[in-house]
A = this chain, B = another copy of it.
């Protein structure tokens, strides 16, 4: 049965999410793409997640009454981890309540002795003494005495004598990574911008950053147009192998999209594109090589060898990017063929290099990437979860876009939430996990994954669930929405085969987690934190992820935290801080790549993880 969702609008962005009444604010925020910080793990005790709810919140919880003063409550302050939504709501989120990856990254970089905000791109306004008799120092030496040593390319070197003289030896030196890339007339120190890009296989996301203040000025995202050459990385690699200009085609396609995003960001923030001096990129190994137009074919064959482990620093113009003509591009380092720069970005953004206790980072997608930090060591593995969480191979599966059932709750009755204010058309990853978990709880799915008639009960719920068991291809299936309720005019069901796909996907990730934990000698209950990254676009309900065995049940609920798009956060970090870039390079080298495909341990763990845990 589909519940009527209520809209929650988040300010200052004006973004709206439609959620079921009773949904916590934290979760509603994630649905709107906003990640609120929750250092105490959602216990309501640290007060870090405070937001101002203008209207629509349910009554304060006891934790809120304890943590907030009556005056604060009266003024509308609430804790996002506690407060639920009861009606259409407006919520103001102060900057201090946001999960600030920048802050997290910069804190890690403090040790390097760099100032808080020390991007690779730096500007400095100078007024040089003009040459005169008795002071005939070369132009470069003159400039160097003012701004310190630098390298310079031939193009600017050719222009420099003219530039200096046209501007009476005054102007703004623009340095990127120790290279002088421009000398601009007048004082332009405040106009210093960078772009951080998450090169997702499916979705591209980019932020425009003010490198002078550290502020995020605009955000843009769009579908990766490379999907027209194949949904997954392997089909794109094959396109490169099978088509003479395949690689150029794929590279041009994504560069064109990035250029369009830069245009959009620059227009949004009213920033001249020529004042964008650097772009940083984070993506999986294949996406990064495609961007750089490096032959990805070895990534499509055993043993999946990347071209370069290190980050790649290169002139943006060589990639065809339209920014400052001598802008730099930095592509994050990778760990292995299937553990790419996005994972390095995640390790960076999650602060795993400095984790106090054993910490697990899980990025759930077609490839599940798992990173474990323990005793100062780092392990990373990738596991082929398959596309079930992305909605593929599930009969009525779909991505987390408008019309997707993203949440299923069974509390007295079955309730669903749909993304966007539209009738449901399918089931996305988080909805699939919810549904499976609830059906396990109510005995509709057995621990081996069989859909079966629940034990007879006299409640209305038991009768409803029993009624929903319908035959499909000679096997039982679960009817989630009747044809009259859907946007397609067809019923939405979960088939026996869908459950098997979920078992495979969930089992693969869980087996990867177990192998890493075993390799490091870490018991799940001793994990300090389990961090969820990605990708998913929607909130995975922690208890449900544990119920289906995707995450170890022994981990305390509050230790499981959602970090949002860590790939983008990492790209942003390395744009803002040179020290973060060095740290990313170190982290990539420090992390041991565990190859699960050759691990006998993994085969055993996978077989075990295919069985749903007992309730």
- Enumerate chain A interface residues (CB-CB to B < 8 A): 131-141, 152-154, 157-162, 165, 292-295, 297-298, 302-310, 312, 314-315, 318, 334, 336-337, 593, 595, 597-598
CB atoms of B136 and A308 under 8 A apart? no
Query: Who on chain B is nearest to A336 by CB?
Result: B136
Q: Which residues of B contact A337 (CB under 8 A)?
A: 136
Q: Which residues of B contact A152 (CB under 8 A)?
A: 308
Q: Which residues of B contact A160 (CB under 8 A)?
A: 294, 307
> What is the distance, in angstroms, from A374's C-beta to the closest C-beta of chain B?
23
CB atoms of A305 and B593 under 8 A apart? no
Q: Which of B137, B310, B336 contacts A305 (CB 8 A)?
A: B137
Query: Who on chain B is nearest to A160 by CB?
Result: B307
CB atoms of A154 and B310 under 8 A apart? no
Q: Which of B131, B140, B294, B305 contacts A136 (CB 8 A)?
A: B305
Query: Who on chain B is nearest to A334 by CB?
Result: B138
> What is the distance, in angstroms, from A586's C-beta to the closest C-beta of chain B?
14
Most-contacted residue by chain B among A292, A309, A336 (CB, 10 A): A309
CB atoms of B138 and A307 under 8 A apart? yes
Q: Which residues of B contact A598 (CB under 8 A)?
A: 133-134
Roughly how many angstroms separate A310 CA and B140 CA in the complex, as a whole number?
Answer: 8
Q: Which residues of B contact A315 (CB under 8 A)?
A: 154
Roughly how many angstroms separate A307 CA and B157 CA in the complex, as a whole number?
Answer: 8
Roughly how many angstroms separate A165 CA and B308 CA in the complex, as a whole number?
Answer: 15
Roughly how many angstroms separate A133 CA and B134 CA in the complex, as a whole number?
Answer: 67
Roughly how many angstroms separate A292 CA and B153 CA in the complex, as a whole number?
Answer: 11
Q: Which of B132, B134, B307 contacts A161 (CB 8 A)?
A: B307
CB atoms of B154 and A314 under 8 A apart? yes
Q: Which residues of B contact A318 (CB under 8 A)?
A: 154
CB atoms of B161 and A309 under 8 A apart? no
Roughly how many angstroms separate A302 CA and B315 CA in the complex, as a whole number?
Answer: 36
> What is the distance, in angstroms, from A165's C-beta to the closest C-beta of chain B?
7
CB atoms of A303 and B133 under 8 A apart? yes
CB atoms of B295 and A595 under 8 A apart? no
Decide yes or no: A312 and B165 within 8 Å by CB, A138-B306, A303-B136 being known contacts. Answer: no
CB atoms of A161 and B303 under 8 A apart? no
Q: Which residues of B contact A133 (CB under 8 A)?
A: 302-303, 595, 597-598
Roughly how many angstroms separate A292 CA and B154 CA in the complex, as a whole number?
Answer: 8
Roughly how many angstroms separate A467 CA and B135 CA in the complex, as a whole number?
Answer: 54
CB atoms of A137 and B595 under 8 A apart? no
CB atoms of A158 and B293 under 8 A apart? yes
Q: Which residues of B contact A136 (CB under 8 A)?
A: 303-305, 336-337, 593, 595
Contacts A133-B303, A140-B308 given; 16 further ones with Cβ under 8 A?
A: A132-B303, A133-B595, A133-B598, A134-B595, A135-B303, A136-B337, A136-B593, A136-B595, A138-B305, A138-B309, A140-B310, A157-B307, A158-B295, A160-B307, A161-B294, A161-B295
Query: Who on chain B is nearest to A302 by CB?
Result: B133
Please name the 6 residue pairs, one residue from A and one from B, whose CB atoms are nearest each other, closest first: A138-B309, A136-B303, A140-B308, A138-B306, A141-B309, A131-B305
Roughly how many angstroms separate A355 CA and B39 CA in the complex, as a whole number?
Answer: 69
Q: Which residues of B contact A298 (CB under 8 A)?
A: 131, 139, 161, 165
Query: Who on chain B is nearest to A315 by CB?
Result: B154
> What is the distance, in angstroms, from A139's C-beta to the closest C-beta of chain B?
5
Query: Who on chain B is nearest to A285 by CB?
Result: B138
Q: Which residues of B contact A306 (CB under 8 A)?
A: 138-139
> What is the distance, in angstroms, from A206's C-beta to the closest C-beta of chain B?
21
Query: Who on chain B is nearest to A251 by CB?
Result: B158
Query: Who on chain B is nearest to A338 by CB?
Result: B136
Q: Which residues of B contact A137 (CB under 8 A)?
A: 305, 309
Q: Which residues of B contact A314 (CB under 8 A)?
A: 153-154
> What is the distance, in angstroms, from A52's C-beta to the closest C-beta of chain B?
49
Query: Who on chain B is nearest to A164 by CB?
Result: B298
> What is the distance, in angstroms, from A246's C-beta to the closest C-beta of chain B?
14
> What is the distance, in angstroms, from A376's C-beta to the closest C-beta of chain B?
22
Roughly how many angstroms separate A158 CA and B331 CA in the complex, as a whole number?
Answer: 14
> What is the distance, in angstroms, from A487's C-beta to the closest C-beta of chain B?
45
CB atoms of A157 and B294 under 8 A apart? yes
Q: Which residues of B contact A336 (CB under 8 A)?
A: 136
Q: Which residues of B contact A593 (CB under 8 A)?
A: 136
Q: Which residues of B contact A139 (CB under 8 A)?
A: 298, 305-308
CB atoms of B140 and A303 under 8 A apart? no
CB atoms of B157 and A312 under 8 A apart? yes
> What is the distance, in angstroms, from A300's C-beta to the closest C-beta of chain B?
11
Q: Which residues of B contact A132 (CB under 8 A)?
A: 303
Q: Which residues of B contact A295 (CB under 8 A)?
A: 158-159, 161-162
Roughly how many angstroms separate A597 CA and B295 CA in the complex, as a whole number?
Answer: 59
> What is the distance, in angstroms, from A136's C-beta to the closest C-beta of chain B?
4
Q: Which residues of B contact A141 (CB under 8 A)?
A: 308-310
Roughly how many angstroms separate A303 CA and B130 CA in the complex, as a whole number?
Answer: 10
Roughly how many angstroms separate A307 CA and B153 CA in the complex, as a whole number?
Answer: 13
Q: Which residues of B contact A294 (CB under 8 A)?
A: 157-158, 160-161
19 contacts between A and B (CB under 8 A): A131-B298, A131-B305, A133-B302, A133-B303, A134-B303, A134-B598, A136-B593, A138-B305, A138-B306, A139-B305, A154-B312, A157-B292, A157-B294, A158-B293, A160-B294, A160-B307, A161-B294, A161-B295, A161-B297
